A and B are shown apart, each in its own frame.
Chain A
Amino acid sequence: MTKTAQPYHKTSLEQFTPEAQEAIRARSLTGNWDLNRLIKVLGELAHFDEVNEKATGKALGWTIGFFVLAFLSIFAGAILGEVFNTALFWLLLPAFIGLGIWRLIQYKKLKKMDLINDFRICLRPALKDLAQDIDRGQKIKVNMDLSGPVDAKKKSKMEIPPGSYIKVEETIYEDPWCEVRLPLVDGTTAVVEFHVTWHKLDVKKRGRRGKIKWKTKWRKECTARATLMPPQSIQWKEDSLRDRADSRLEKVKMVDKDGVTCARMERYWKFKGASDVPADAPPSREVVGLLLRLHSAMVAPPEVRS
């Protein structure tokens, strides 16, 4: 059951386990984990991210509100100053500007702590669905970068043909944010990798009244790649696997790892966002669906280890 996100303030990071605190500060999670511990820490991170997102939205709302009030206080200062014959109302203007700047700084700070949503929308539910298939005696190897589209991941920034706009500038971020290696009870290793390509489009356009406007649009292209590595060479029902793949969105490939033939499936998703990065992520069901089809394509799967 999902807990309702509770309000928190700066010091309340202490409510989380040390591992979760470390992951929030570093905006990454790596190492070898027990399944239960990993699900718990991801749960804490999910809770933090939900609350942080709400607080970010609230801070932005207040920032806009205070700057609007600052603008209105110019008229208020002039009118009320005339009526009551005092200059005191002019103090409203710097007061609202000050409050607006304070909230803007708060907004920027919260935004810097924002985590990519995919781990809570996609990865954690998928791990819960696969819990019974994971060998509890072994560790899950995790390498996650939760920071989303940051400058370090910027791949290119260039102008593209503007079409009906005045100017369009595209910034591309490459974000291979996650790799998890799941040891299954039959000795097979399931490797799931997620890659996101973020496209940020800064569009310069002319409004209806001829005013020049800037607008930002985001596009998020996600790829999930699931590879099943059996403990020893086995045969695969390759044709059946290819038949069961959705050829518009999925690819099937047989790969060789240390002399063992492994099967790989890749699926692609695309999401759009208006002024902010898209909050959507691949549905966990569709990622588990890749593993399910891969596993059922083994001609004779390995026996379950006792």
Chain B
Amino acid sequence: MSCMANAGLLVLRPCGQPAAGGCSQCGKPLCLMHMAGGTCPECMAMGGQWEDSEAGREAATRNNYYNTYGGGDEYGSATYFSSGDRGSMGPGVPSFSGSSADDYDPFDT
């Protein structure tokens, strides 16, 4: 699983580094760098706790720009989903878990 913290302003994209944990508020997978504050940069920016974190500051700046000018990707626009997202929603794609019922083992931990 890879880090889903957002990067960029014009070209909004997930960080993509290997995830090392999740955001304590929204559960989004995060890499070591983005997990430094406990929450993801977006939650930090929403909670107004972005001042101590570079990534939080970037997220707050991004929100500020998007609130003024729009931008980023809104649900319904062609670019809301990444190519990975679109691929996973196409026909013939296995379900989310990627496993069939036969593979299920209740004792597997």
Cα–Cα distance between A263 and B49 once the two chains are bound (Å): 37
* Given A285-B65, A292-B71, A293-B69: A185 touches B78 (CB 8 Å cut-off): no
B11 near A185 (CB under 8 angstroms)? Answer: yes
Cα–Cα distance between A129 and B71 once the two chains are bound (Å): 15
- Write the A28-71 contact mask toward B (1 if CB under 8 angstroms, else 0): 00000000000000000000000000000000000000000000
Question: Chain A residues with Cβ under 8 A from B66's Cβ?
Answer: 292
A298 near B79 (CB under 8 angstroms)? Answer: yes
Question: Chain B residues with Cβ under 8 A from A303's Cβ?
Answer: 83
Least CB distance, A1 to chain B, in whole angstroms: 11
Question: Chain B residues with Cβ under 8 A from A129's Cβ?
Answer: 9, 61, 65
Cα–Cα distance between A300 and B78 once the two chains are bound (Å): 6
Q: Is A253 an interface residue (CB 8 A)?
A: no
B68 near A299 (CB under 8 angstroms)? Answer: no
Q: Is B48 an interface residue (CB 8 A)?
A: no
Q: Is B10 an interface residue (CB 8 A)?
A: yes
Question: Chain A residues with Cβ under 8 A from B10's Cβ?
Answer: 130, 133, 184, 190, 291-292, 295
Least CB distance, B83 to chain A, in whole angstroms: 6
Question: Chain A residues with Cβ under 8 A from B69's Cβ?
Answer: 244, 289, 292-293
A132 near B78 (CB under 8 angstroms)? Answer: no
Cα–Cα distance between A185 and B13 once the two chains are bound (Å): 10
- Write the B57-80 contact mask toward A (1 if CB under 8 angstroms, else 0): 010010001101111110001110
Closest Cβ neighbor of A244 among chain B residues: B70
Would you list which residues of chain B between 1 and 58 have a CB under 8 Å from chain A? 7-11, 13, 58
Interface of A, secondary structure class, is mixed
Closest Cβ neighbor of B68 among chain A residues: A289
Least CB distance, A179 to chain B, in whole angstroms: 19
Identify A300's interface contact among B65, B70, B79, CB under 8 A.
B79
Cα–Cα distance between A186 and B79 once the two chains are bound (Å): 13
Least CB distance, A52 to chain B, in whole angstroms: 30
A288 near B13 (CB under 8 angstroms)? Answer: no
Least CB distance, B56 to chain A, in whole angstroms: 14
Cα–Cα distance between A303 and B83 once the two chains are bound (Å): 8
Least CB distance, B91 to chain A, in whole angstroms: 20
Q: Is A301 an interface residue (CB 8 A)?
A: yes
Q: Is A304 an interface residue (CB 8 A)?
A: yes
B11 near A184 (CB under 8 angstroms)? Answer: yes
Least CB distance, A100 to chain B, in whole angstroms: 48
Would you list which residues of chain A between 272 and 306 have a CB under 8 Å from chain B? 285, 288-289, 291-293, 295-296, 298-301, 303-304
A301 near B11 (CB under 8 angstroms)? Answer: yes
B13 near A304 (CB under 8 angstroms)? Answer: yes
Closest Cβ neighbor of B13 among chain A residues: A304
B7 near A132 (CB under 8 angstroms)? Answer: yes
Identify B78's interface contact among A244, A291, A292, A299, CB under 8 A.
A299
Question: Chain B residues with Cβ under 8 A from A289's Cβ?
Answer: 65, 68-69
Chosen A-B contacts, 6 in total, with CB atoms closer than 8 Å, are A129-B61, A288-B65, A292-B10, A296-B73, A296-B77, A299-B78
- A residues near B (Cβ < 8 Å) are 129-130, 132-133, 184-186, 190, 244, 285, 288-289, 291-293, 295-296, 298-301, 303-304
- B residues near A (Cβ < 8 Å) are 7-11, 13, 58, 61, 65-66, 68-73, 77-79, 83
**Besides the contacts A292-B10, A293-B71, A300-B79, what 18 more A-B pairs have beta carbons closer than 8 Å?**
A129-B9, A132-B9, A132-B58, A133-B10, A185-B8, A244-B69, A288-B9, A292-B71, A293-B70, A295-B10, A295-B71, A296-B72, A296-B73, A298-B79, A299-B78, A300-B78, A303-B83, A304-B11
Q: Top 4 nearest A-B pairs by Cβ distance?
A: A292-B71, A295-B10, A296-B71, A133-B10
